[in-house]
Chain A
């Protein structure tokens, strides 16, 4: 629909464009404009027509459909696509700020090759030809010496990440990972091991929601964030357990300032009450209910109160209320569940509570993935005889996902060269230097990496340590394949992007980059297709999907929402909901969640928790607009310990853990649990070319220790205890 034009009279628009132009021009000098009447000024310069173009946001993973308004070749504004049911026709602050993202002066402009030491920041500009030749040569050399698995790939989770993944597969490496082991693998693991599927919460139709370890009103998840407010309007009760007074807590009906790491105690006691009161309808639909009744007998609310600080009488009442509302009730599964060494078991306790609410595959409960119908075109993966048997960190966590693995565990293997060496790294739009706990260890890992190539649109902290940096184009410059999305009960949908503006500078799309590299490496035939041809294969059998996408910017598949299983067995070992997990028993993990008390920080130490807000984008918050809301992160501390330590609001403090230390300003926060401190992700950048966040605030990666969840291999980001001192 790029050709679609907005109905607007030329004269009217002259005014806006001139106003905009005037501000821009005004930076160079004062304007005479103030002395000239509007109509007069408008006549003096030409202004182009405003055209509108469908696209989808790429500032986070939600991919909200948007309409870009373009004038004179420049994107002026990004508006929500009102037809997008997943985003409920909205664009958040980050999406609005995407204009500043693509027009940032910090953007990478041409290929660079490192000339100094890693991280020293000495670069030479090279041509694409040279960059591609050099990269292909280096990758092949490593493959020759250390097998194809000697190169690890981090393809990101972008619309074109599939091509980088395909490149890795065809190149022949299994060592592929993404950010998910720093994010939600433990949740995925727990729900897969209970329901056989990952859940999509039907927030909109729920009547009672317990939210723990999640903050959907700040960390946007569409449509959940918007639906939570709509459900609340319709009378849904919201109970939040959080050591911080988040905005989700601020708008909840009840908020419990829970001690961090004790969530499982609450859920075991809740389950205790539900089974004791015989409030669960259908034990026969589960595996291991009887064992579970016995198991939770030792976890009464009085016990939980001592552990988590939530009064026993409240736990009893909540158990009554939520079972009353069931099955239109849920424990919200959350997303970034990379928090504790038993984070999978914590989510298992939550998943089992959902089992007892009988909400699976039903309105207001947890839904299975819906059919979108977009295909993944087939490609051949060659066999290399000399490749090792498995991915490098295989077996290091009992429930590792074969296709994703764990970045932290891979990093250990790269450092130890066990069971085999990895000497190359190919990365697209992944920023472990800023997101993975123990940054110094990531830097140490690079000592064993002979060649590191990074594709991004910015010189991220990770790119800063690369050998070759390739400028990718931004999502607004790109023609992308069809991208399927799950939107809970709102929709099963897909979008695709057409370029709104041309590639800026010498930036290129990832597909072009892997096509050029594969030609040089002898498997060019694997990428011998255009995006248009690829799309055709993707939508085979979906009549008119591409036309609908062009007309509406989004395609919906009216597939079944509820009762997808309709009596057929679940994808678990037992074929029913697994309260007692048989596979865990075999792997030596607790088949039912067993409470593990978190370490007490002790006097004058704190547990560090991390999170995000609605106004920045994790490790890519180098944005002129967003940094106006928040130009550095702060350390949140309760006033009681702050006064005991002689710390005041705004003081520069040093936060130190066994892993590392960093400095930032203190923020006195009455809403935080007194033995907990909090800081947001995404600041304290090492790369000077992330100019707005360079050395601003502190980086979580520098301070967090790199322990992990024993089952999923997910990072455990809330296990770090820190001391805080004032910097004079």
Chain B
């Protein structure tokens, strides 16, 4: 059965200790100055006196169902994985244009300073394969982050979603339909930026057929042989293209 990985976050128990960020950084050996996850803060209003409070909100790539980064990718390197619901990156197809980075309203992606490709949260696929939780989830002192498969009704994530009120942090006018759920209420809510598509690219993703789009990617790559190899190794990629086309 297909999975739909998601994260449910109880931000009310986050103590802003940064353990999730440190754990992620070590797990993925991220370069200095770059992170795959974050903790946002609703700063205190000190006019509230003794009731002044702050609220901390953990986050990372929201693996959106309407992934603006995928729409922005001219080469098909960034795609929505049908089997897991995750937004993934095939670095071999990436042309390094950076469109996906600006298209993400959450700034969940950065350009890796050495590899020159976008990098972001992958829910620790390698840990999942080992039967381990994602690094940020595993290490969290107060278990603010709950990871799971929403298609599995037994999972804690699915259970929470079914029994508790949740909110999503999304954007206007384009709803990203994120797979990061926050137990209500969470703060801050207003931090996502604008979804930015390069104008020329927007036209292409909107009107040009999938084959042409792949060709654009290829021209960027400049390696035709790679394309054939990729078709062989990723049999589901064309399906992804069609789905994306419908959404766009």
Contact = CB atoms under 8 A, between A and B. Distances in A.
Interface in B38-59: 44, 46, 50-54
A139 to B, nearest CB: 41
Report which residue of B32, B116, B129, B131 has the largest number of chain A beta carbons within 10 angstroms of its beta carbon.
B129
Interface in B1-33: 13, 15-19, 21-23, 25-29, 31-33
Interface stretch (B65-73, B86-94, B162-170, B195-203): B86-94
Contacts of A142: none
A80 B92 contact: no
B211 interface: no
Nearest to B20: A93
B51 A254 contact: yes
B15 A229 contact: yes
Contacts of B97: none
B32 A37 contact: no
Contact of B25 (A314, A615, A625): A625
B17 A80 contact: no
B138 interface: yes
Contacts of A88: 141
B35 to A, nearest CB: 9
A226 B142 contact: yes
A40 B23 CA distance: 28
Contacts of A170: none
A386 interface: no
A24 interface: yes
B132 to A, nearest CB: 7
Given A7-B131, A12-B126, A91-B23, A40 B229 contact: yes
Contacts of B142: 90, 226, 229-230
A247 B126 contact: no
Interface stretch (A15-23, A520-528, A660-668): A15-23
A371 B92 CA distance: 58
**Chain B: number of interface residues, binned into ranges:** 35 or more
Interface in A112-138: none
Interface string A600-625: 00000000000000110000000011
A704 to B, nearest CB: 26
Report which residue of A6, A20, A96, A628 has the largest number of chain B beta carbons within 10 angstroms of its beta carbon.
A96
Contacts of A13: 126, 129-130
A92 B141 contact: yes
Given A37-B90, A245-B52, A96 B141 contact: no
A93 B18 contact: yes
A79 B139 contact: yes
Contacts of A26: 114-115
A96 B26 CA distance: 7
Given A27-B114, A233-B13, A628-B32, A34 B23 contact: no
A23 B139 contact: no
A401 interface: no
Interface in A76-125: 76-80, 88, 90-97, 99-100
A671 B45 CA distance: 9
B121 interface: no
Given A23-B114, A79-B138, A670-B46, A37 B13 contact: no
Contacts of B117: 34
Contact of B53 (A6, A19, A251, A314): A251
A91 B138 CA distance: 8
B165 to A, nearest CB: 16
A256 to B, nearest CB: 6
Contact of A34 (B22, B52, B115, B130): B115
A96 B126 contact: no
Report which residue of A35, A36, A100 has the largest number of chain B beta carbons within 10 angstroms of its beta carbon.
A35
B29 to A, nearest CB: 5
B98 interface: no
Contacts of B96: 34
Interface string B132-156: 1001001111100000000000000
Contacts of A624: 32
Contacts of B21: 93, 629
A383 B18 CA distance: 51
B223 A35 contact: yes
Contacts of A38: 90-92
Contact of B22 (A8, A96, A218, A229): A96
A39 B15 contact: no
Nearest to A614: B17
Contacts of B22: 92-94, 96-97, 615, 625-626, 629
Interface string B77-101: 0000000000000111010100000
Interface string B120-131: 000000100111
Nearest to A225: B141
A381 interface: no
A295 interface: no
A255 B50 contact: yes
Contacts of A20: 28-29
A31 interface: yes
A80 B138 CA distance: 7
Contacts of A218: 15, 17
B229 A92 contact: no
B15 A251 contact: yes
A14 to B, nearest CB: 10
Contact of B27 (A36, A40, A77, A226): A77
A601 B135 CA distance: 47
A444 interface: no
A354 to B, nearest CB: 23
A670 B46 CA distance: 7
B29 A8 contact: no
Nearest to B94: A34
Contacts of B46: 245, 670-671
A33 B130 contact: no
B184 interface: no
Contacts of B233: 37, 39
Given A12-B126, A254-B51, A625-B22, A37 B230 contact: yes
Given A8-B129, A8-B130, A40-B229, A90 B141 contact: yes
A23 B25 contact: no
A661 B142 CA distance: 39
A339 B52 CA distance: 26
A35 B54 CA distance: 46
Contacts of A6: 130-131
Nearest to A37: B92
Report which residue of B19, B44, B91 has the largest number of chain A beta carbons within 10 angstroms of its beta carbon.
B19
Contacts of A217: 15, 17
Contact of A37 (B18, B26, B229): B229
B44 A250 contact: yes
Given A225-B15, A250-B44, A90 B226 contact: no
Interface in B185-235: 221, 223, 226, 229-230, 233
A516 to B, nearest CB: 35
Report which residue of B17, B54, B141, B223 has the largest number of chain A beta carbons within 10 angstroms of its beta carbon.
B141
Report which residue of B46, B132, B226 has the largest number of chain A beta carbons within 10 angstroms of its beta carbon.
B132
B26 A99 contact: yes
A90 B90 contact: no
A625 B26 contact: yes
Contact of B129 (A12, A27, A95, A671): A12
Given A79-B135, A226-B142, 15 more contacts: A8-B129, A8-B130, A26-B114, A31-B114, A38-B90, A77-B26, A90-B142, A93-B17, A96-B26, A218-B15, A252-B53, A256-B50, A615-B18, A625-B26, A629-B18
Chain A to chain B: the 8 pairs with minimum beta-carbon distance, closest first: A26-B114, A250-B54, A96-B22, A93-B22, A37-B92, A90-B141, A16-B126, A614-B17
6 contacts: A12-B130, A79-B139, A95-B139, A218-B17, A251-B53, A614-B19
Interface of A: 6-9, 12-13, 15-16, 19-20, 22-24, 26-27, 30-31, 33-40, 50, 76-80, 88, 90-97, 99-100, 217-218, 220, 225-226, 229-230, 232-233, 245, 247, 249-252, 254-256, 314, 614-615, 624-626, 628-629, 670-671
